[in-house]
Structure 1
């Protein structure tokens, strides 16, 4: 049994429409970012203006919900001013918490806006309680988002040894790298996703029709090849298909999504305070459907040791929305250990 509060459901929004869908579908908190390189989903046509952030905060607070703003890329050493201005914009909009990774950004927020909650972004790559303690002591963080590389027992160990709230990803795309440490895209494009906010900058992506097949290139590097009627994935180097000793396959990582529904009670018992849904780059319809499933799942949790059986319909819905229509528990489950 557990008397711990149920985890908060933290959902993404890449647009005002997606925000409204997440709000209506039952998100407890919604995270978003500005239309600039200060956030790690800096895609053209997505994200919010400062005015839209203020409107979103007003709508969320009217329904008793929270808004978190992601400033989770690393500030440029030459001129961190845009990141500091983004912190000011978050404070002016009245967001409930700032999600940041860069030490200078956290220090600025702590010094200039001490009343604003600070959450440590997954981009900070804090995988143990000692690292989290450093951010807590120096910058007063009140929550940390764990990278998707820890087992259940490791998550529980972190929770037991820190006074900081712990948030984990519950559903969404996986990354082959520890977040915040990827250099693959930088190698191919010369543009760091940790500064610019995108793994595959639009200007580096090329599609070309070559004799009945479509080549996908990133920074001039051929990363996949599709038949004319084959669905085409967003071109990221880590999920490309390559010829390795005559075998064409996903050499680094297959397209698949993390889905932790089966271990949700275990995460609750471990003391996890928030379940995060990945996907600010996803459609409003995607966010609505995923949020609705997770709202139902969290509402069904009971503080008993009764067997947990997720609804098959939940799994069916999430499978349809997963990358490659595949799901995994990822690092959370390592039966071979």
Structure 2
């Protein structure tokens, strides 16, 4: 049987080249951010200038895709202008929506750009119907990106009670914390992913050889040790390898990626509007392969055909995948 509706495939674009790769691979929408702390992937070498965003929007629109601009960090006191300008630049560049978390920015966008769609970022961590209705009624939010802590049944229950669209993650990195609530990077580096836009900033990452091992550090903290000739993972605190008593291993979280391709039918039945792929910091070849794979999966489900077996494990973190909270086996 044909799926009851066609979901939107929302794909990451950390650079103009990645945006073109995503559009060419079949993305319905791409999401991106500016080269500053207004977005939660504020890494060197990533993101867009206003001119690049305008060019990217024209390329996406010519290919039948939409552009969503993530302005999803929380403004610093006294620096609101930076975030307001980002919303203005997104509207000027022809963005189809802005993805916001801060209620002040939602109010600003509603007042200054009433025709620009407002999506609620996962950074807002709106995980129940009452919270979502608040954003819809007060700020005209049209879509909510749901946190990665909900089961499929919980998502279905929410969709029965809200009037807006819902978007869920289907592939990419996971976080041990509810989005918008993590302080680990702030503790280690003084830089907040929710305000400065970067978790484990590169400026605080250090590698050194020590007794035949390559040691990776974040600020003053040793995150991992590997034999000198083995690849060293990027030192993200929650995915570090630590010693705790007699145990040595991943105390907080294993390096693993979400892969919900097999759950596409259940998520559609639950009323999800859009499927989101994580990975704005990834290469354009990664974007091409992941988007192509999910394009096939979504199209097969919509056509009532079997979903092709996944081939994305090689692109996952630690070459391991999980269904995450969608299947809470610990309950």
Q: Normalising by structure 2, what TM-score?
A: 0.97
User: After superposition, where does 1:29-48 map in structure 2 within 5 Å?
Assistant: 29-48=29-48
Match of 1:176 in 2: 176
Deviation at 1:220, TM superposition (A): 0.7
Match of 2:292 in 1: 292
Match of 1:110 in 2: 110
Structure 2: stretches of 5+ with no match in the other structure: none
Match of 2:308 in 1: 311
Query: Using the alignment, how far apart are the partners of 1:278 and 1:69 within structure 2?
Result: 14
Deviates more, 1:107-116 or 1:209-218: 209-218
Query: Using the alignment, how far apart are the partners of 2:77 and 2:104 within structure 1?
Result: 10
Match of 1:152 in 2: 152
Match of 2:185 in 1: 185
Asked whether the equivalents of residues 35 and 49 of structure 2 are also in contact (C-alpha less than 8 Å), the reply is yes
Deviation at 1:154, TM superposition (A): 0.3
Match of 2:257 in 1: 257
Secondary structure at 2:251 match in 1: coil
Residues 86 and 302 from structure 1, CA distance in 2 versus in 1: closer, same or farther, beyond 3 angstroms? closer
Query: Using the alignment, how far apart are the partners of 1:74 and 1:181 within structure 2?
Result: 12
Match of 1:279 in 2: 279
Query: Using the alignment, how far apart are the partners of 2:280 and 2:302 within structure 1?
Result: 30
Match of 1:301 in 2: 301
Secondary structure at 1:161 match in 2: coil
Query: Using the alignment, how far apart are the partners of 1:247 and 1:105 within structure 2?
Result: 45
Match of 2:119 in 1: 119
Secondary structure at 1:196 match in 2: coil
Deviates more, 1:271-280 or 1:73-82: 73-82
Deviations 1:204-225 (A, max 9, x none): 1111111211111111111111
Query: Using the alignment, how far apart are the partners of 2:294 and 2:279 within structure 1?
Result: 14
Equivalent pairs counted in the alignment come to 331
Instruction: Say whether 1:328 aligns with 2:322.
Output: yes
Asked whether the equivalents of residues 37 and 195 of structure 1 are also in contact (C-alpha less than 8 Å), the reply is yes
Query: Using the alignment, how far apart are the partners of 1:150 and 1:303 within structure 2?
Result: 27
4+ long deviations beyond 6 Å: none
Match of 1:167 in 2: 167
Match of 1:229 in 2: 229
Residues 335 and 208 from structure 1, CA distance in 2 versus in 1: closer, same or farther, beyond 3 angstroms? closer
How much is the aligned-residue C-alpha RMSD, in angstroms?
1.3
Deviation at 1:247, TM superposition (A): 2.1
Instruction: Say whether 1:243 aligns with 2:243.
Output: yes
Deviation at 1:13, TM superposition (A): 0.5
Query: Using the alignment, how far apart are the partners of 1:107 and 1:76 within structure 2?
Result: 16
Asked whether the equivalents of residues 3 and 302 of structure 2 are also in contact (C-alpha less than 8 Å), the reply is no
Query: Using the alignment, how far apart are the partners of 2:46 and 2:292 within structure 1?
Result: 22
Deviation at 1:302, TM superposition (A): 3.7
Deviation at 1:3, TM superposition (A): 6.1
Query: Using the alignment, how far apart are the partners of 1:20 and 1:260 within structure 2?
Result: 24
Deviation at 1:2, TM superposition (A): 6.8
Q: Normalising by structure 1, what TM-score?
A: 0.96
Deviations 1:105-146 (A, max 9, x none): 111000100010000000000001111111111111000000
